[in-house]
A = this chain, B = another copy of it.
Amino acid sequence: MHEGAPADPIIGELSEGEVLARIAARTGRAAATQVGPGDDAAVIGTPSGTVVATTDTLVHGPDFRLAWSSGYDLGWKAAAVNLADVAAMGARPTALLVALAMPNDTRISFVEALADGLREACEALAPGCAVVGGDLTVSPTLTLAVTALGDLEGRTAVLRSGAQPGDVVAVAGELGVAARGLAVLFDRFRAADGAPVPVDGALLAPGDHASLGGQLRPSPPIGLGPMAAVAGAHAMMDVSDGLGLDARRMADASKVTIDLDPSALGDDPVLAIEGGEDHALLATFAGDALPPGFRVIGRVVERGEAPVLVDGRPYAGPGGWDPYRDWDSVSG
């Protein structure tokens, strides 16, 4: 950098190679890496003879607001939601590929924080997993498309279609916390015109910190996915769009009915059923096989008229409503 250059340049002032080097210094190294970043592609060990692969995207506007999410938050969340999809197959995450499209005026410090968030989410949630490759593009819309790979370690993948009548329905991880955090943001941290404004800690009640953390930096129980598979889970998926909607998806795929017990869903069962983005693991087990970390929230019965029951009554509530998507502004 020449004398007088800004300490925190925008990416439009740097070459692609310089931006890549700043990111590569922060992404760590995946344990299964045979060839890492810098060639045409990465090479990852898959000793068990299969690879699990999934992709999920965060788009500025529909999926996050820069007034509320830091670069670190975004990196963390993009990793976490993809790791959860791998874990929900019963697999151990091994590697991430990150396609990052961003405006030319993005600060390099933002990109570095994003790389830190990706790395630290992997370290915390899926040790051994790290970014092994990616792509940088200029775009008017900040977009983070992450692909996660995983290893079944010789196990059979646990699908959402395997639930059987007589199974217990169990969950590992939070339900409703991320939605509560989103409500805090929408209710308290918007200007009169609806635009998001940064979070003011003075306006937070003690419990709000955990709720915001659940929304901005979710920590799904990734390690429990493989444990559920080892314990013989019949079906599993991650709860991304709300328990009510995702239980319906599992029930439809398995041709069963899932009967949820609201007394097992905490202080606010409606929020637990309707709130999305926690990425808890929803699984069904033969009654005697529940692994540590999972709690029973219902049971699987023969397919009836309704795919999902709550306390025995058909569930027809909203599922999967996404306030970001239904909000017409994309700024902030």
* Complex CA–CA separation, A132 to B50 (angstroms): 14
**Do A46 and B50 touch across chains, with their CB atoms under 8 A apart?**
yes
The residues of B that contact A101 with a CB separation of less than 8 Å are 57, 59, 141, 143, 145
List CB contacts (< 8 Å) of A231-249 with chain B. Answer: 237-238
Report whether over half of chain A's contact residues are helix, strand or loop; otherwise say mixed: strand
Contact pattern, A 118-149, Cβ under 8 Å of B = 1, otherwise 0: 00000000000000111101111101010111
8 Å CB interface, A138-168 against B:
138-141, 143, 145, 147-150, 152, 157, 159-161
Total interface residues in chain A, CB < 8 Å: 61
CA A32 to CA B140, docked complex, whole Å: 36
Decide yes or no whether A41 CB sits under 8 A from chain B: yes
Known: A139-B62, A143-B143. A89 touches B55 (CB 8 A): no
Please state the number of chain copies in the assembly: 2
A57:B140 contact, CB within 8 angstroms: no
The reply to whether B43 and A51 contact each other, CB–CB distance below 8 Å, is yes
Query: Which residues does A use to contact B, with CB under 8 Å?
Result: 34-35, 38-47, 49-57, 59, 61-63, 84-86, 88-89, 91, 95, 97-99, 101, 132-135, 137-141, 143, 145, 147-150, 152, 157, 159-161, 237-238, 253, 325, 330
